[in-house]
Structure 1
Amino acid sequence: MPPRTTPSNKALGDAIKARRLELGLTIEDAAFRAGVGTKTWVRYESGSAIRTDKVHGICKALRWAALGGGDEARTETYDLNIDEKSLAWPDEMCKCYGRAAAVSFVAGSEILLDYTTADLEQLASMPHGSHVGELGVSWLKDLLPQQFLTRYDYEFVYAFKCSVCRLRESAEHTGRIHVHTTTDLLAIRSMCECAGILMGEWGYEPGWDDWAKDLYMEADVDYYLYSDEYVPRSHSLHFDWWNEW
């Protein structure tokens, strides 16, 4: 069954555009925050129908309480909807690192999953071998190590998405995050990047991401993959070994 949609509405499209301009956002900025492509966002502003599963992302991007405006949504309260009943809630992580850690994992992984799906949708319509660096707007090219940018093709992005899903399933079923590969570590780091702005808006103090740093910093991911270091193929953190268990 196809996703439900809100009816086409020119007035709503005008309101979306006006709100975006009021917030000082470019189309690319708004689309990125909403987890949709730029062409999709342009359609929203023209009054096209909106899938109901995309409404939350639009409201979050525009800080609306509901589609169309009304009372302005306070992003500071959105995290109250994230608790032990949420999908992928890491109960053991919450006990060890606190609620902020668990909230950041749930929110960050949801956003990252949306961004990864958006990149896959674009790559699926491009020639074999195309990579995220060739996309007009990519959700991953600024999150992943730049040395291997041209290696992030459809197959890799698919594997990356599987890693995110596996981590979420692990959290939901065991309450813990089970890391097996470098791709898993990069997914965790990317989740924190995705959650960063929201965690600040929600009023969480610095240190909410300690749970993640304990994982990827110990593996020297930042030192080798997010610096000016060149990583040779013989190194365990080279792209060719990212999915090796």
Structure 2
Amino acid sequence: MDQTRHFHHQATLPAILILLLATIGLLFYGIYHYADQTTLPSGAAQSSIGVLLEEASASKLKQLQKSGISFVYLKATGDTEAEVKLVKQTKLAYGIMVNVDSQTSASQQVAKVEKQVKSFGRLPILLDTGQSDLDASGLTRLSEMAKLLQAKMPKQEVMVNASRSYAGLMPKGIKFLATSQKAPSRLKYCFWQYTSKGHVAATGFSHYTMYAYLGTNQQYKQKYGQLTQ
């Protein structure tokens, strides 16, 4: 059987080939320009976005600022104070993220953080258990640590990575971090972790955990500092 009979129109095969080549071309174009793009949130203020840093360096902080990042979260470790000094040399606002261990007492963990960190920045202290679905022990520890930090640092905001539906279990005044795929309510959440696999222009292909402030740009400036774009 003549194989050309499979195509009812002479233009069908060329059209398919052209479409295939165009698709491949767009793919290569996207890969080539990936390093020039920053993963932005959908439905939130794009000027006030930030990242979680595993470790901070002067060059990386400058790249982040140049790429329009406005704030960074630093993990509470023995190196945090050195990293804070580097951040203070930039226009970036900063905050401290504390990994919460549900198996260790709240008082022990807070005491450890106080030894590691002296300057907590203007952003809320972020308490994060690393659990996608919080269990009873995780919720209890978040609540206990939030209450202790509020008592020790009454002028410092504290935020928990937890659903606003758990507000009744948390101390009054606690902020909440949303992790939903869609933009959350600005009335219920303070910040939004909109991706854990984000990219920031000119910083390579690292996967960043990225945040967006859910208020207006003016509110951000009043509470946390200047924007970088």
Q: One fold, TM greater than 0.5? A: no
Which one has the bigger strand percentage? 2
Q: TM-score range by the shorter chain?
A: under 0.3
Compute the TM-score of the two structures, normalised by the length of structure 2: 0.26
Larger gyration radius, structure 1 or structure 2 = 2
- TM-score normalized by the length of structure 1: 0.24
Return the structure number with greater helix share: 1
